[in-house]
Chains A and B, each alone.
Chain A
Amino acid sequence: MISVSKLLCDLDAEGDGLRYDAADESEKAQIRERKQRRPVVVWNCTKQCNLYCDHCYAAAETEPAPGELTTAEGKRFLDELAEFGAPVVLFSGGEPLAREDLVELVAHASDAGLRPVLSTNGTLLTEERAVALREAGLKYVGVSVDGMPERNDAFRGQTGAFDRALDGIAASQSAGLKTGLRYTITRHNAGDLEDVVALLAERGVDRFCFYHLDYGGRGAEIRDVDLTPEERREAVRRVCDLTREYHDRGHEIETLLVGNYADAGYLVEYARRELGEAAADRIRGYLLKNGGDPTGERIADVDYQGNAHLTQFWQGYSLGNVRDRPFGDIWTDEFNPLLDALREREHHLTGRCADCRYQDICRGGSRLRALSVGDDPFGPDPQCYLTPEERGIDGEAGVPGAAD
């Protein structure tokens, strides 16, 4: 995650200690020290979902999967995450609110010392449940809204999903929970970007998370509606501009770019053009601390059956299963050559990533997209939209095409 509001507008937020090693600069409660070196763990606690979204990386269905972790197994798993030092557990799905024991699990995570947060479609979030979750220790609710009503509902496979998501956002806010909106951009909904940000501002939503499409689960089946590099560049520029415009008007929205670390290089270039060299250097310094794409390092995923994955989107490969041994033992296994190589990927990246001037703050972007498109986990990310000049490559011109 790259915080546009932190880097361009200096907005203080809870996650900055984790993202930029900037805990000392912040007045907000921060995640510090040992926990910064452990991954944020996404737990797909059920496969069951009441919606059927086109881009669902977990390929969720209307029924639970066989062998989902039981309540007791889930609690032990959470204890082991806390013992390992994971800073955050993100309850995801499927739709996590489909689990009747969610409040109990959130309370257990909080008591164990984890920071529990929730990713939901919002449609099942009543005020009563939101209050129960807040009292259980939940710290944040992220609700998926992928466009204005018509496009969102088409994407999510259910008429009325947009209105019910807004009801869920209102319930979360009413319960006093920090609430964000997550929007995954495709060609279908790119035209709604400004309206979604306006909606967020009007509703007083705390945070806007702009997701690039990753090619996992059903997301891999809709690659054809992913943006071109030119379209992506324009969308990211618009997020940067909008963030600054809102802040200039006194509306301190928190905006985050997620899932494509070409954004890191772009932000430095944007800052150089709009704010000057000193700002660009300062931002680059923050992004170095952020460390680039977090696959296999600062993000991890455990699915409903206990399989551990390199990111939440990369469900087709599992490192091991928490039913066999604790997550921390799987994550620190020194005998997995892929895990090792991802953690020193600067020695393995090929193609245009190998000699890019922004490799240290991007680290090649999504390894899953590289694998999905090029059959090579160390090949170039097809979503990179930096120009050859920006990448420091002489003799080429223009924004790279998807096949570059």
Chain B
Amino acid sequence: MNDEAVRSDMSDPDADSTDRERDDAALEAAVDAPRGDVSREWELFVRESTDDPLTHAGSVSAPSAEIAREQAEWLFGWTAETLWLCPADETRRFAADGVALADRTGETATDDSVGAGETGGEEA
């Protein structure tokens, strides 16, 4: 696959959120627990051909974006035409009511489930 990194616009994706209609019941629950520990975790997205959707294919642990790219390419380079990597600690995960594990248990996330020093996202 092509080694060239594709840079995207990283401006605030919620800048126009006040203009949108929001469904209060949907995607409000923040899945706010960390996914990484010693190394940074990188969410990994793969597209196998240009007419396929970009699909979440898990995550890799790596201390830098370059090493994450290397690892992702070892795992998926044989089939992917596009790889995207997003730092898990910069990724906000939202789920509809009842989907996230904390909801499935019937308990809400407590301070105990997010360790000191972990932001877990602004929503935590």
- Interfacial residues, chain A to chain B (CB-CB below 8 A): 47, 59, 64-70, 72-73, 75-77, 80, 305-307, 315-326, 335-338, 341, 348, 371, 375-378
Separation in Å of the B81 CB from the closest CB of chain A? 11
A72 in contact with B61 given A307-B35, A317-B71, A322-B101 (CB within 8 Å): no
Question: By the criterion CB–CB under 8 Å, are A337 and B46 in contact?
Answer: yes
Question: By the criterion CB–CB under 8 Å, are A337 and B33 in contact?
Answer: no
For A67, A338, A341, the residue with the greatest tally of chain B CB atoms inside 10 Å of its CB is A67
Give per-residue flags for B24-51: 1 if the beta carbon is below 8 A from chain A beta carbons, else 0. Answer: 0000000101111111010000101000
Q: Which of B41, B102, B112 meets A323, CB within 8 Å?
A: B102
List 8 A-B pairs, minimum CB-CB distance, nearest first.
A66-B115, A67-B33, A76-B105, A323-B101, A67-B34, A72-B105, A66-B118, A319-B58
Q: Which of B31, B75, B95 meets A377, CB within 8 Å?
A: B75
The residues of A that contact B75 with a CB separation of less than 8 Å are 317, 338, 371, 377
Give per-residue flags for B92-123: 1 if the beta carbon is below 8 A from chain A beta carbons, else 0. Answer: 01010001111011110010111111101000
Separation in Å of the B116 CB from the closest CB of chain A? 7
Question: By the criterion CB–CB under 8 Å, are A77 and B35 in contact?
Answer: no
Residue of B nearest to A61 (CB): B38
- Interfacial residues, chain B to chain A (CB-CB below 8 A): 31, 33-39, 41, 46, 48, 55-62, 71, 74-76, 78-80, 93, 95, 99-102, 104-107, 110, 112-118, 120
Separation in Å of the A349 CB from the closest CB of chain B? 12
CA distance A336 to B76 in the complex (A): 10
Separation in Å of the A348 CB from the closest CB of chain B? 8
For A72, A326, A348, the residue with the greatest tally of chain B CB atoms inside 10 Å of its CB is A72
Question: By the criterion CB–CB under 8 Å, are B101 and A67 in contact?
Answer: no
The 24 sampled A-B contact pairs (Cβ below 8 Å) are A66-B115, A67-B114, A69-B101, A70-B110, A70-B112, A70-B113, A73-B102, A73-B105, A76-B104, A76-B105, A77-B101, A305-B34, A305-B35, A305-B37, A306-B35, A317-B58, A317-B71, A323-B101, A323-B102, A324-B101, A325-B99, A337-B48, A337-B80, A375-B74
The residues of A that contact B112 with a CB separation of less than 8 Å are 70
Question: By the criterion CB–CB under 8 Å, are A67 and B74 in contact?
Answer: no
Question: By the criterion CB–CB under 8 Å, are A59 and B38 in contact?
Answer: yes
Residue of B nearest to A378 (CB): B78
Question: By the criterion CB–CB under 8 Å, are A324 and B105 in contact?
Answer: no
The residues of A that contact B41 with a CB separation of less than 8 Å are 307, 318
Q: Which of B39, B74, B80, B101 meets A73, CB within 8 Å?
A: B101
CA distance A315 to B113 in the complex (A): 21
Residue of B nearest to A326 (CB): B104
CA distance A315 to B60 in the complex (A): 9
Question: By the criterion CB–CB under 8 Å, are A76 and B101 in contact?
Answer: yes
Question: By the criterion CB–CB under 8 Å, are B31 and A324 in contact?
Answer: yes
CA distance A65 to B113 in the complex (A): 10
The residues of A that contact B31 with a CB separation of less than 8 Å are 321, 323-324
The residues of A that contact B78 with a CB separation of less than 8 Å are 341, 348, 378
